[in-house]
Amino acid sequence: MSSAWGNKVKISVFGESHGSAIGVVLDGAPAGLKLDMDELMLNMGRRAPGRDKAATQRKEADIPNIISGVLNGTTTGAPICCVIENTNKRSGDYGNLLTKPRPGHADYTGYVRYNGFSDIRGGGHFSGRLTAPIVFAGSICRQALKQNGIEIASHIYSIADIYDEPFEPVEIGHDLINRLNEKSFPLIDTDKEDKMRSVIENARLSGDSVGGIIECCAVGVKPGLGDPMFFGAENVISSVMFGVPAVKGIEFGAGFDMTKMRGSKSNDPFKYENGRVITTTNNNGGILGGITTGMPIIFRAAIKPTPSISQPQSTVDLQSGENATIEIIGRHDPCIASRASVVIESALALALINL
Ligand SMILES: Cc1cc2nc3c(=O)[nH]c(=O)nc-3n(C[C@H](O)[C@H](O)[C@H](O)COP(=O)(O)O)c2cc1C
């Protein structure tokens, strides 16, 4: 099993949801970066469980214990190792999963792939909890990118069939970016919050879950980053995005909607503005031929409904070899999307620093 990713700046994520700790080694981060720990902790808090009422009530402090690579609050250039203790485990809730895999989760595939040895408690290494180290490492990369004029933000584009406003594709203002970066339930049109929350609450009350879409952007990215054919910006971003559990799709710019346009509408016309080449539309989401155009990078990631729901579901009993029913006890998010937003932003930071 390998959970390492990256080329110039690498991460290696370790731990299990109900083990003693989880963490990450971040290799290749720049030296001399003065870490803004308040900002880093704000990001950790946006992902952490038990803070927002739409999320699971499993409470975790998620305090990163930095054990190498940072001296007096500044990165030294050596590998940064961070350990996050698991303080709130209830492995008893997962007893029946040892033989009955949860539909929609990785219990069955993990069991097959690792010959029954994978740690199934709380989803083990497949748990959404393993995104805390991604947020830690991504937040450091994000601070390095910010020093180079690159800013990242995301918002909940949809929950089930309730939609927020999309990003304005050509120009995304700093005020909006700053506002979204502070929220655990980030929305462009805040009037949508009540409707989205009531869809989530209705799902929870019926022992069910809902999915959503996170729209994410990066502004200030220089033109000319990325390589054709297999190491383009889309490839690198998608590769790390699918490391985020529950991400089932990604589209850049106008994405699938481009198939309904004519070329005369989908092409982004070029124009000089203050000596700089820009495009007057941004249907390609800031990437052409795998190479950044200098326009905002915009993509949407599809987050599926939380697999662990409390309604009875059909499964198999791997021990008896018979069909079975499973009722999942435990604390699960009725919707993953809000907590996933800062994870998607952090994953984008990891992709951009590699580009
Ligand atoms: C922030 C976050 C929290 C998650 N919380 C849960 C959860 O409480 N219960 C659950 O069943 N899945 C949760 N997941 C999703 C599962 O980890 C994921 O669906 C599973 O590992 C299978 O992987 P796949 O959906 O990518 O195929 C979470 C994912 C993220 C990103």
Q: How many CB atoms lie within 10 A of CB 248?
A: 10
CB burial class (10 A; 0-12, 13-18, 19+) of residue 219? buried
Its pTM surpasses 0.85: yes
pLDDT recorded at residue 265: 98
CATH number at residue 220: 3.60.150.10
Please report the atom of ligand 1 found closest to the CA of residue 126. 21
Interatomic CA distance for residues 189 and 71, integer angstroms: 41
- Bigger pLDDT: 246 or 122? 246
For residue 355, tell me if it sits in a domain: no
Closest residue CA from atom 23 of ligand 1 = 245
> Does 55 sit in the ligand 1 pocket, CB within 6 Å?
no
pLDDT of residue 341: 98
E strands in 92-167: 151-159, 162-163
Atom number of ligand 1 nearest to Cα 247: 26
pLDDT of residue 193: 98
Q: Is residue 273 part of a domain?
A: yes
- Phi and psi at residue 173, in whole multiples of 5°? -75, 155
Q: Which residue CA neighbors atom 4 of ligand 1 most closely?
A: 128
More confident position, 53 or 129: 129
Q: What pLDDT, on a 0 to 100 scale, did the predictor assign at position 277?
A: 98
Tokens, residue 248: 């089932």
What's the CA gap between 8 and 28, in Å, rounded? 6
Rounded CA separation 146/152 (Å): 9
Residue nearest to atom 5 of ligand 1 (CA): 128
- Is 136 among the domain residues? yes
Q: Which atom of ligand 1 is nearest to the CA of 333?
A: 8
Distance CA 4, CA 27 (A): 10
Distance, CA 115 to ligand 1 centroid (Å)?
22
Q: Which of 44, 213, 333, 346 to mutate to test the pocket of ligand 1 (most atoms within 8 A of CB)?
A: 333
pLDDT category, 275, cuts 50, 70, 90? very high
Q: What is the mean pLDDT of residues 132-145?
A: 98
What are 288-305's pLDDT values in tens digits? 999 999 999 999 999 999
Is residue 110 in contact with ligand 1, taking CB distance under 6 Å?
A: no
Nearest CA to ligand 1 atom 29: 128
Q: At what angle do helices 337-354 and 37-47 cross, to 10 degrees?
A: 130
Mean pLDDT calculated for residue range 153-178: 98
Q: Which residue range(s) make up the domain with 49?
A: 4-350
How many other β-carbons are positioned within 10 Å of the β-carbon of residue 225? Answer: 19
How many domains does the chain divide into?
A: 1
Mapping DSSP to helix (H, G, I), strand (E, B) and coil, where does residue 171 land? coil
Q: Which of 89-93, 261-265, 333-337 has the lowest mean pLDDT?
A: 89-93
225 within a domain of the structure (yes/no):
yes
> Is the residue at 249 inside a domain?
yes
Ligand 1 centroid to Cα of residue 246, in Å, is 5
Q: What pLDDT band is residue 61 in, cutting at 50, 70 and 90? A: confident
Ligand 1 touching residue 52 (CB < 6 A): no
